[in-house]
Chain A
Amino acid sequence: QQQVKQSPQSLIVQKGGIPIINCAYENTAFDYFPWYQQFPGKGPALLIAIRPDVSEKKEGRFTISFNKSAKQFSLHIMDSQPGDSATYFCAARRKGGYNKLIFGAGTRLAVHP
């Protein structure tokens, strides 16, 4: 049973555009929401994470927006570059679930020059 739904499956933007990736969750016991970036042949790399008591968090060109009432969160990449082309995963951790992460299905992003 998929508990974190991620969309879109793939996304193409031009350089400088702002791709937005969305995730929705069902379990209100989730208390930690990280985003990971994965390049081909590499393991996922932690990009940015947020907790439900915060509505927005920025780190460099990456921003997470969090809507607790709608049980949705999204990743925005400002001024996207071809080097941002990768697969992005959202994830969630259940309170008391130690380090078990439940991942979304992933979004393959292509940034064209």
Chain B
Amino acid sequence: KAGVTQTPRYLIKTRGQQVTLSCSPISGHRSVSWYQQTPGQGLQFLFEYFSETQRNKGNFPGRFSGRQFSNSRSEMNVSTLELGDSALYLCASSLDSGGPNPYEQYFGPGTRLTVT
């Protein structure tokens, strides 16, 4: 099976712009979670989507949003970019039901966002 894929891999944006990142989960996986990774704050949970609904949210401002499509693919959007949004954005997918370990999460390679 193919792993979690994320596009684009690298992105450079200017303050004030907005950006959309895409994630394709492992085939059959229904849950998609997003994390932000920075040297200062480490890995922080942004939100989780399941069946096209957000069912979990971290402590990030409303500028960060996401959605999930019927094929489980997900996008996250950051509006009005700030310098502090520069980070590696990681997507993780999990089966979420069935099997011995339904909540195991598998991460994609991430999208490196640089805000100038």
Report which A residues bind B (CB closer than 8 A). 32, 34, 36, 41-46, 49, 89, 91, 93, 97-106
Chain B residues with CB below 8 A from A34, complex form? 104-105
Given contacts A45-B107, A99-B92, A104-B42, 9 further A-B contacts (CB under 8 A): A43-B108, A43-B110, A46-B105, A89-B42, A91-B43, A98-B55, A98-B56, A98-B96, A101-B33
Verify B103–A99 contact, CB threshold 8 A.
yes
Question: Nearest Cβ in chain B — how far from A88, in angstroms?
Answer: 12
Question: Nearest Cβ in chain A — how far from B97, in angstroms?
Answer: 11
Contact with A along B37-52 (1 / 0, CB 8 A): 0000011110010100
Q: How far is the CA of A7 from the CA of B6 in the complex (A)?
A: 30
Verify A42–B109 contact, CB threshold 8 A.
yes
Q: Could you jot down 8 A-B contacts, CB within 8 Å?
A: A41-B109, A44-B107, A46-B107, A49-B104, A99-B33, A99-B94, A100-B56, A104-B42
Report which B residues bind A (CB closer than 8 A). 4, 31, 33, 35, 42-45, 48, 50, 55-56, 58, 90, 92, 94, 96, 101, 103-110
Chain B residues with CB below 8 A from A44, complex form? 43, 90, 107
Q: How far is the CA of A33 from the CA of B111 in the complex (A)?
A: 25
Chain A residues with CB below 8 A from B43, complex form? 44, 89, 91, 101, 103, 106
Chain B residues with CB below 8 A from A98, complex form? 31, 48, 50, 55-56, 96, 103
Chain B residues with CB below 8 A from A36, complex form? 107
Decide yes or no: A46 and B42 within 8 Å by CB, A98-B56, A99-B33, A100-B58 being known contacts: no
Verify B103–A32 contact, CB threshold 8 A.
yes
Verify A49–B4 contact, CB threshold 8 A.
no
Chain B residues with CB below 8 A from A101, complex form? 33, 35, 43, 45, 105
Q: How far is the CA of A100 from the CA of B31 in the complex (A)?
A: 11
Question: Nearest Cβ in chain A — how far from B16, in angstroms?
Answer: 28
CB-contact partner of A99 in B48, B90, B110, under 8 A: B48
Chain A residues with CB below 8 A from B50, complex form? 98
Closest 5 pairs between A and B when the two form their complex, measured CB to CB: A43-B107, A103-B43, A44-B107, A43-B109, A100-B56
